Amino acid sequence: MARPCTFALPLLLASALALAAAEPVPYAVDVGASRVRVHLGRAGMLKFLGHDHEIGAPLAAGTVTVVSGDLARSTVRLSFDAPALAIVPGTEPAGDVAKVEGRMRGPEVLNAALHPAIVFLSTSVTGEETRPGHFRLLARGMLALKGRSFPVEVPVEVQLSGDDLRATGEVKLRLRALGIEPPSVASVVNVANDFRVKFDLLAHRAPP
């Protein structure tokens, strides 16, 4: 009678370890050590007279929950304060900074006074582990902006090392797809509809 139990024990242990490996592991984003940049280009007849805009989008908060054994159960939530978005120092003529930031935060673009929160919340995560601790993922989710929500897809490379998680990537988006008409100057120099968001996020495993 003891032999079946002896054979069953390793299977039970293996099952327990598999369940443990699939447990959600929460990480808190280190907002001070993370960086998100928005690059806006130019369009229009006289685009050579204008210049690109480099915007810093500091994170207000962020959480990542990783289920390494079941990526589909992983989640991402990132929040930004719209009034905190600002020109990256040194990337814009000094005399233009206040004007560009004012227009960006104003009702024409972000309407930050009325809608100060910008939030990305994932609805699904897919991908693969390319090598131990390294993942190539696609996070689909909703971006809440100006009182509306828009579907977005974000490709991301994730590295897990000890209690740290680093997520990097770049996503191409369109202003009109987010309910924003590209601003223009005299209808001849426009902000391009297509823009890029580049991110480098560091998160630390949350204490139990």
Q: What are the respective helix, strand and coil percentages of the chain, to the nearest 5?
A: 20, 50, 30
Q: What pLDDT is attached to residue 176? A: 92
95 close to 130: Cβ distance less than 8 angstroms? no
Domain ranges across the chain:
22-205
Secondary element (H or E) of residue 143: strand 134-145
| pLDDT at residue number 182 | 87
Q: What pTM was estimated for this model as a whole? A: 0.82
Side chain identity at residue 6, one-letter code: T
Handedness of CA 101, 107, 108, 110 (dihedral sign): positive
Contact 193, 40 (CB under 8 A): no
Q: What is the pLDDT of residue 14?
A: 47
Output the CA torsion sign for 93, 97, 98, 99.
Answer: positive
Segments of the chain with pLDDT less than 50: 1-2, 4-7, 9, 11-20, 44-49, 186-189
178: its two tokens: 């987010």
Residue 115: Cβ-neighbour burial (10 angstroms; 0-12, 13-18, 19+): middle
Amino acid, res. 3: R
158 in Cβ contact with 138 (< 8 Å) = no
What is the amino acid identity at position 25? V
Residue 86's Cβ-side half-sphere holds a number of Cα atoms within 13 Å equal to 10
54-100 tens-digit pLDDT: 999 999 999 999 987 788 889 999 999 999 999 998 888 888 889 88
Q: How far apart are CA 109 and CA 117, in angstroms?
A: 14
Alpha helices by DSSP H, listed for 37-196, are: 97-105
Topology annotation, domain 22-205: Lipocalin (2.40.128)
Under 8 Å between Cβ of 190 and 47: yes
Which residues, 6+ apart, have CB-to-CB distance to 112 below 8 Å? Answer: 82, 83, 85, 105, 106
So what's the pLDDT on residue 188? 39
pLDDT on residue 64: 95
